[in-house]
């Protein structure tokens, strides 16, 4: 499947038709639900008391349903108006249950419009990768990512966690995203589920304020340093020693004593006439004068 991110802005891709399709596809619902449950598991929320959770890119509210079932209060934001309309209809359908969620129309790339330290947790399902693409000259992916993460840092309560599931197109995108998150001060990293399967593979960026695990050396360094570091880890992961310079190997003489003895032995087994091995075998000649 081609990537919808390449076709234009999210609010244009998720138009009314696409939003309905998305919401009525049972496969999509199943996948989204599974991802959300995994993300909530990674959030490690206390299910005994309600928490306030921010859902970024809530779409038609599928992820909100999972949070609701666990008794949390959520606030969803999405850039696609049509998706929100579908979500609103859902809310009206399930009036018996009385939804604990609320919706707002917002673009995460322009920063989150909330009071500081508001949310206990933040969740985002299949949305973050949209920030890596720019749809106009004024949009700079790096800038938008930084703006998003720094505002997320402010609106999250200290001790809160954020789990953001995303589909990176390339490894560089995953690096760019996690690098930006680290730069604004977050601790944490990327969890990859089913890394061996191309289809089921899922990336979760787990962010927290918890620095009990010391950040990897160079994680807070300059971009250049970071890239170097990344390069080495990638190289090692592939089982090669690219990037790491090995000391130049000392050129070994080809015709060593062992080699000559081995060769003579081989000739002998073939039945050829070979001079016997003596103390003179493979001895260097006296230098010429």
Q: What is the contact surface with another protein in residues (CB under 8 A)? A: 49-50, 52, 71, 73, 75, 77, 79, 81, 84-85, 88, 95, 98, 100, 102-107, 110-115, 117-118, 136, 138-139, 147, 151, 157
100-to-64, 67, 92 alpha-carbon distances in Å:
9, 9, 12
Other Cβ atoms closer than 10 A to 277: 14
DSSP structural state of residue 172: H
Q: Considering the complex, what minimum distance in angstroms separates the CB of residue 188 from another protein?
A: 23
N-terminal to C-terminal alpha carbon distance within the chain: 77
Which is nearer to another protein, 112 or 207 (by Cβ)? 112
DSSP structural state of residue 255: S
Best CA proximity match to 205, nearest among 133, 112, 132, 106 = 132
Cβ atoms of 69 and 99 closer than 8 Å = no
Q: Considering the complex, what minimum distance in angstroms separates the CB of residue 91 from another protein?
A: 9
Q: Considering the complex, what minimum distance in angstroms separates the CB of residue 76 from another protein?
A: 10
Other Cβ atoms closer than 10 A to 256: 11
Rg, Å, the chain Cα set:
30
Which is nearer to another protein, 95 or 283 (by Cβ)? 95
Pairing relationship of beta strands 156-166 and 73-78 according to DSSP bridges = unpaired
Q: Considering the complex, what minimum distance in angstroms separates the CB of residue 93 from another protein?
A: 13
Which is nearer to another protein, 30 or 71 (by Cβ)? 71
Which is nearer to another protein, 150 or 229 (by Cβ)? 150
136: tokens are 């106009």
Best CA proximity match to 207, nearest among 128, 154, 153 = 153
Check the CA dihedral 238-244-247-248 and report its sign: positive
Q: Considering the complex, what minimum distance in angstroms separates the CB of residue 73 from another protein?
A: 7
Best CA proximity match to 125, nearest among 44, 204, 24, 46 = 204
Give the span between the Cα atoms of 174 and 203, in whole angstroms.
8
Which is nearer to another protein, 125 or 155 (by Cβ)? 155
Which is nearer to another protein, 19 or 75 (by Cβ)? 75
Other Cβ atoms closer than 10 A to 255: 9
DSSP structural state of residue 284: P
Q: Considering the complex, what minimum distance in angstroms separates the CB of residue 89 from another protein?
A: 10
Which is nearer to another protein, 115 or 279 (by Cβ)? 115
Q: Considering the complex, what minimum distance in angstroms separates the CB of residue 149 from another protein?
A: 15
Q: Considering the complex, what minimum distance in angstroms separates the CB of residue 192 from another protein?
A: 32
Which is nearer to another protein, 117 or 220 (by Cβ)? 117
């Amino acid at each position: 499947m081609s990537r919808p991110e390449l076709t234009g802005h999210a609010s244009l891709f998720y138009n009314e038709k696409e939003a309905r399709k998305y919401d009525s596809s049972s496969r999509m619902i199943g996948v989204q639900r599974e991802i959300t449950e995994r993300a909530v598991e990674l959030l490690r929320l206390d299910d005994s008391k309600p928490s306030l959770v921010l859902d970024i890119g809530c779409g038609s509210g599928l992820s909100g349903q999972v949070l609701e079932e666990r008794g949390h209060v959520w606030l969803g934001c999405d850039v696609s108006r049509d998706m929100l309309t579908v979500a609103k209809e859902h809310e009206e359908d399930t009036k018996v249950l009385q939804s604990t969620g609320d919706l707002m129309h917002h673009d995460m790339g322009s920063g989150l419009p909330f009071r500081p330290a508001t949310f206990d947790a933040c969740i985002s399902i299949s949305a973050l990768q949209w920030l890596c693409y720019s749809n106009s000259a004024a949009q700079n992916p790096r800038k938008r990512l930084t703006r998003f993460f720094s505002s997320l840092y402010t609106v999250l309560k200290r001790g809160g966690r954020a789990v953001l599931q995303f589909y990176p197109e390339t490894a560089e995108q995953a690096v760019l995203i996690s690098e930006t998150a680290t730069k604004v001060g977050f601790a944490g990293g990327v969890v990859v589920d089913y890394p061996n399967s191309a289809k089921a593979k899922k990336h979760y960026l787990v962010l927290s304020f918890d620095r009990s695990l010391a950040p990897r050396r160079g994680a807070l360094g300059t971009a250049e340093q970071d890239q170097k570091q990344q390069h080495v880890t990638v190289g090692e992961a592939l089982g090669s020693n690219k990037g790491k310079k090995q000391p130049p190997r000392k050129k070994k003489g080809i015709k060593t004593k062992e080699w000559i003895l081995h060769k003579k032995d081989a000739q002998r087994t073939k039945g050829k006439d070979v001079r016997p091995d003596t103390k003179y075998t493979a001895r260097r000649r006296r230098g010429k004068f």
